[in-house]
Chain A
Amino acid sequence: MFTIDLARDLDGSGVTVNALHPATYMNTTMVRQSGVTPMSSVEQGADAILNLATSAALDGRSGLFFNGQREARADAQAYDAGARQRLKTLSLELSGLSSKTSASVESSRR
């Protein structure tokens, strides 16, 4: 969901951002420790990441979602601008990064 807004913020800066589901249940420590039998290899996931990071065909393309090597449609909620805004506001407040929150904390200290 952040990818879509970040892509818009960075439009024209030369930086592109895309979201990726590299592979399903790759054979990583995280997957093995959660008790899931791995379904794909880290090599598959690495291919998908490298495709996104280095493929000339994707030059200048931004704000997209990829499933493995293929461009795909993200969850419907990602295209709801109101939901994205709520998630952003909530995330900034919970992580203590919103300018509103930190400004009010700083002024209450003085």
Chain B
Amino acid sequence: MANPNGKTVLVTGSTDGVGRVVAKRLGEQGWRVLVHGRDRGRGERVVAEIKDAGGAADFLAADPLFPCRGTAAGRFGAAGHEAARSSHQQCRHRQRRVARDAADQRRRLRTALRRELSFRLSAHASAIAAGQDQYARAHRQRLVARATSDRLCRRDVDARLQRLARLVPEQACPDHVYDRSRP
């Protein structure tokens, strides 16, 4: 079958549905078709369907988050290469920015959590020292509850509670406030 004008047609989202039908029709009409989508398996099936019907087709993978990672450069020559390169750079900038923001956010959250844990730990310790059982118990409960939201902080708090257990004199720390068998 003769290609109508020697051109390639890209059908975005053509691994299924209406795009797949459009890709197959264009294949029947003699265009070289680029089948495009996220699912390589389904895309290759459409490519095979077009080839079985006597057409020419290839699969072009779509990246759901960063479309620049496709292979447009190789398929569309110099212009495609330039477009892919500039789009790729923009995506890299965005990826880096998103990663930096996420790391900043994690650092801020962890700092705030450590501050709060440190406050509760000293409140817990001074309540034990002052013999205020209820306060000591309440501070310890909240301390442990907050610490479990962060694995590193939990380890840190466990270690500090163990140290505290060694430092606090037996009589100042009733068993119902501080379970010595479990740090």
Contact = CB atoms under 8 A, between A and B. Distances in A.
Given A50-B26, A96-B94, A109-B100, A29 B21 contact: no
Nearest to A49: B22
Contacts of B100: 109
A53 B20 CA distance: 15
A42 B17 contact: yes
A72 to B, nearest CB: 19
Q: Is the interface of B mostly helix, strand, loop or mixed?
A: helix
Contacts of A36: none
Contact of A45 (B21, B29, B94, B97): B21
Interface in A7-31: 22, 26, 28-30
Contacts of B25: 46, 50
Given A46-B22, A49-B22, A50-B22, A29 B97 contact: no
Contacts of A109: 97, 100
Contacts of B21: 42-43, 45-46
B172 to A, nearest CB: 51
A105 interface: yes
Contact of B16 (A29, A43, A105): A29
Contacts, number: 36
Contacts of A54: 26, 29
Instruction: Give the size category of A's interface with B.
Output: 10 to 19
A26 B20 CA distance: 13
Interface in B1-48: 9, 16-18, 20-22, 25-26, 29
B18 A26 contact: yes
Contacts of B18: 22, 26, 28, 42, 45-46, 49
Contact of A105 (B9, B17, B97): B97
B26 A30 contact: no
A89 to B, nearest CB: 19
Interface of A: 22, 26, 28-30, 42-43, 45-46, 49-50, 53-54, 96, 102, 105-106, 109
Interface of B: 9, 16-18, 20-22, 25-26, 29, 93-94, 97, 100
Given A46-B21, A54-B26, 12 more contacts: A28-B16, A29-B16, A29-B17, A42-B18, A42-B21, A43-B21, A45-B21, A49-B22, A53-B22, A54-B29, A102-B93, A105-B97
